[in-house]
Amino acid sequence: MRVYWVRHAAAVRRSEWRGAERLRPLTGGGHRQAQRLLDLFGGVAIEHLLTSPDLRCRQTLEPLAAQRGLPVRLDARLGSGRSAAGALALLDELERRTAVLCSHGDVIPRVIDRLRAEGLRLERELVCDKGSVWIVEGEPGRRARARYVAPPAKSREPGLAEIEADDAAPLESEKLRVAVLDLGSTSFHLLVADATPTGEIRRVLREREMLRLGALVASGGRIPEEVCARAVDAARQLHRRAVAADAEQVLAVATSALRDARNGRQLARRIGESLGVSVRVLSGEQEARLIFAAFRQRLAIRDAPHLGIDLGGGSLEIALGDDTDVHWETTLPLGVARLHGELGREDPMPRAARDAIRARVRGSLSGVVREIARHRPLECIGAGGTLSALARRILTRRTSWPARGVNQLFLPVSELREVAAELVASTHDERLRMPGLQKQRADLLPTGAVVLECLANELGLAGFTVSNWGLREGVILEALGLAGSDPSPLRSRGAGA
């Protein structure tokens, strides 16, 4: 066993923080401490990243997660005030995998002290400074030892590159390779993944074809014939890739653009006939529920209300739920491609366009704000290409590192506001030169940033936690019977079934 126990980096003082304790963030120095952990872990083959749900712990592991492209799993057993028993049970679940666990100054000493009582040998006295690491190797009673590494700013150690780890274990044997074809408003997406009956989903292939159907529907109410032909061809190409990837079954769903276009359902039938696959046109409420099911499976949602959003090309899906069910959901016509086509085409975006987008968001939310305030959600989890693109830009600005993964990254409203101002004031060519920004979204991103900034302001959100699971994973979970809705069981009959 080799586990790295990281105490979170320096955070804003409690006396200076007016928000929820769980959302108390790192200071600027704390972010630099978190960044310096990259040197400490240089060359270490890490299999798992786990953290307390508290924001300061999540931010401590964000640079490491982004560099390695690893997801960060939230686990309440690492939370402040928790006993050693829960954390030790978590160690048993890791089954000798190499893992980095980020927790608090009260929890880590309890764990180390408990292990010491079981035979763990400490190489120095038990201290736990912010940003420090305790490296626990071996098993108690079998020459196990614990080595302390001071916070990166104080440490003289060059790194931990001498430590190796075994390859990640494969998925359990009972799995199915499934493909989800998501016919969206901005693009058509393909996800091919291996899924297990317990809801573990491991991505095998992701492909995308940009079509921008949402803007066409917003401007004309229907999809022109030549674009319909392109859409059928794009779906056919993605289906071929799913078959080539040995998908045993294809699940096809359509969202806002095909739901709202006058000829959308006709196009959905045409695509289905071309592929030999039934295309299901989701209602906005169904879409919101499937997205929240993915959030529930991916993140540590507790038995308290959480807000879930997905900002797509044609609509904004909103759901309120907890770890057992979705209690309320809605869909709003606030998709990025839709609003960009109607209000945000000028470049750079003039003040009048920005004000018009904000007015549209406020108007659409007029009946929603009271309902959300009534449930008092702990935090907001978000998905969608726009939010992920903004997260990559924010992370690149924050760390100067290329952002590989943004799952579970927390985006404070303050940083979102800064990036929104930067994007709105820039030209398309200037955005193309911004580190961390994808060229496919360079035209739409200012509109999306304004929508999300206004959404956070109107709902009183501290920020957004990014999920890299969304609708496509929710469709898989539903088919497995794990989404809290009527399942459509997966069958092992081939990609054209």
Nearest to 420 by CA among 453, 392, 442: 453
Tokens of 238: 């993605």
Q: Is the pLDDT of residue 423 over 90?
A: yes
83-101: average pLDDT: 85
Q: Do residue 375 and residue 317 come from a single domain?
A: yes
Long-range CB pairs of 270-275, under 8 A, 24+ apart, other chains included: 270/228, 270/232, 271/183, 271/231, 271/232, 271/235, 274/232, 274/235, 274/236, 275/181, 275/235, 275/236, 275/239, 275/250, 275/496
Q: Is the pLDDT of residue 268 over 60?
A: yes
Q: Do residue 123 and residue 82 come from a single domain?
A: yes
Question: Which of 261-270, 341-350, 387-396, 458-467 holds the top average pLDDT?
Answer: 261-270
Q: Do residue 317 and residue 442 come from a single domain?
A: yes
Q: Specify if 486 maps to a domain.
A: no
In this predicted structure, what is the pLDDT of residue 1?
67
Top pLDDT among 162 and 425 is at 425
Reported confidence tier of residue 88, pLDDT bands at 50, 70, 90: confident
In this predicted structure, what is the pLDDT of residue 115?
86
Top pLDDT among 92 and 138 is at 92
Q: Specify if 169 maps to a domain.
A: no
Average pLDDT, the chain: 86
In this predicted structure, what is the pLDDT of residue 335?
93
Q: Specify if 480 maps to a domain.
A: no
In this predicted structure, what is the pLDDT of residue 159?
40
Reported confidence tier of residue 213, pLDDT bands at 50, 70, 90: very high
Burial bucket for residue 287 (CB in 10 Å: 0-12, 13-18, 19+): buried
In this predicted structure, what is the pLDDT of residue 485?
47
- We report the CATH number of the domain holding residue 458 as 3.30.420.150
Q: Is the pLDDT of residue 435 over 90?
A: no
What single DSSP character describes residue 171?
P
- Tokens 């050693």, located at residue: 84
The β-bridge relationship of strands 326-332 and 121-122 is unpaired
Alpha-carbon distance 373 to 393, whole Å?
Answer: 30
Top pLDDT among 113 and 167 is at 113
What is the distance between the terminal CA atoms of the chain, rounded to a whole angstrom?
A: 44
Tokens of 217: 């529907």
Q: Specify if 255 maps to a domain.
A: yes
Reported confidence tier of residue 401, pLDDT bands at 50, 70, 90: low
Neighbours of 170 (CB within 10 A): 9
Q: Specify if 51 maps to a domain.
A: yes
Q: Is the pLDDT of residue 123 over 80?
A: no
Determine the residue type at 265.
Answer: R
Nearest to 67 by CA among 43, 101, 84: 43
**C-beta separation of 115 from 146 below 8 A:** yes
Top pLDDT among 474 and 491 is at 474
In this predicted structure, what is the pLDDT of residue 139?
60
Q: Do residue 244 and residue 306 come from a single domain?
A: no
Count of residues making up the chain: 497
**Phi, psi torsion values for 225, nearest 5 degrees:** -60, -45
Q: What is the pTM of this model?
A: 0.69
Tokens of 311: 């900002």
What single DSSP character describes residue 412?
E
Q: Do residue 313 and residue 273 come from a single domain?
A: no
Q: Do residue 44 and residue 136 come from a single domain?
A: yes
Per DSSP, what are the bridge partners of residue 464? 411
Q: Do residue 63 and residue 107 come from a single domain?
A: yes
In this predicted structure, what is the pLDDT of residue 492?
39
Which one of 249, 284, 319 terminates a domain? 284
Q: What is the pLDDT of residues 59-79, one digit of tens each?
A: 999 989 888 888 888 998 999
Q: Do residue 261 and residue 375 come from a single domain?
A: no
**C-beta separation of 312 from 302 below 8 A:** no
Burial bucket for residue 169 (CB in 10 Å: 0-12, 13-18, 19+): exposed
Q: How far is CA 99 from CA 216, 293, 301, 340, in A?
A: 48, 27, 22, 43
Q: Do residue 360 and residue 442 come from a single domain?
A: yes
Tokens of 492: 């092992």
Q: Do residue 343 and residue 452 come from a single domain?
A: yes
- We report the CATH number of the domain holding residue 97 as 3.40.50.1240
Determine the residue type at 415.
Answer: E
- Tokens 């968001």, located at residue: 361
In this predicted structure, what is the pLDDT of residue 494?
41
Q: What is the pLDDT of residues 284-321, one digit of tens each?
A: 999 999 999 999 888 767 678 899 999 999 999 999 99
Q: Is the pLDDT of residue 169 over 50?
A: no
Mind giving me the DSSP string for 209-268? EE--HHHHHHHHSS--HHHHHHHHHHHHHHHHHHHHTT-SEEEEEE-HHHHHSTTHHHHH
* CA angle (290 as vertex; 286, 292 as ends), nearest 5: 115
Alpha-carbon distance 191 to 178, whole Å?
Answer: 8
Alpha-carbon distance 227 to 243, whole Å?
Answer: 24
Tokens of 173: 């044997």
Tokens of 12: 């804003």
In this predicted structure, what is the pLDDT of residue 359?
97
**C-beta separation of 404 from 67 below 8 A:** yes
Domain hosting residue 394, numbered range: 300-466
Alpha-carbon distance 446 to 442, whole Å?
Answer: 8
3-state secondary structure of 49: strand
Using a pLDDT cut of 90, give the percent of the chain over it.
54
153-162: average pLDDT: 39
- Tokens 């190797």, located at residue: 137
Reported confidence tier of residue 196, pLDDT bands at 50, 70, 90: confident
Number of structural domains (the chain) is: 3
Q: Specify if 248 maps to a domain.
A: yes
- We report the CATH number of the domain holding residue 250 as 3.30.420.40
In this predicted structure, what is the pLDDT of residue 367?
86
The CB-side HSE value for 314 (13 A sphere, CA atoms) comes to 28
In this predicted structure, what is the pLDDT of residue 152?
65
Which one of 284, 308, 327 terminates a domain? 284
Q: Do residue 271 and residue 352 come from a single domain?
A: no
Alpha-carbon distance 155 to 147, whole Å?
Answer: 13
**C-beta separation of 318 from 330 below 8 A:** yes
Determine the residue type at 448.
Answer: G
Which one of 252, 284, 316 terminates a domain? 284
In this predicted structure, what is the pLDDT of residue 400?
65
Q: Is the pLDDT of residue 140 over 60?
A: no
Q: Specify if 487 maps to a domain.
A: no
Q: Specify if 442 maps to a domain.
A: yes
317-343: average pLDDT: 92
Q: Do residue 315 and residue 462 come from a single domain?
A: yes
Q: What is the pLDDT of residues 372-394, one digit of tens each?
A: 988 888 789 999 999 999 998 98
- Does the bond joining 53 to the residue before it have cis omega, within 30 degrees of 0? no
In this predicted structure, what is the pLDDT of residue 404?
61
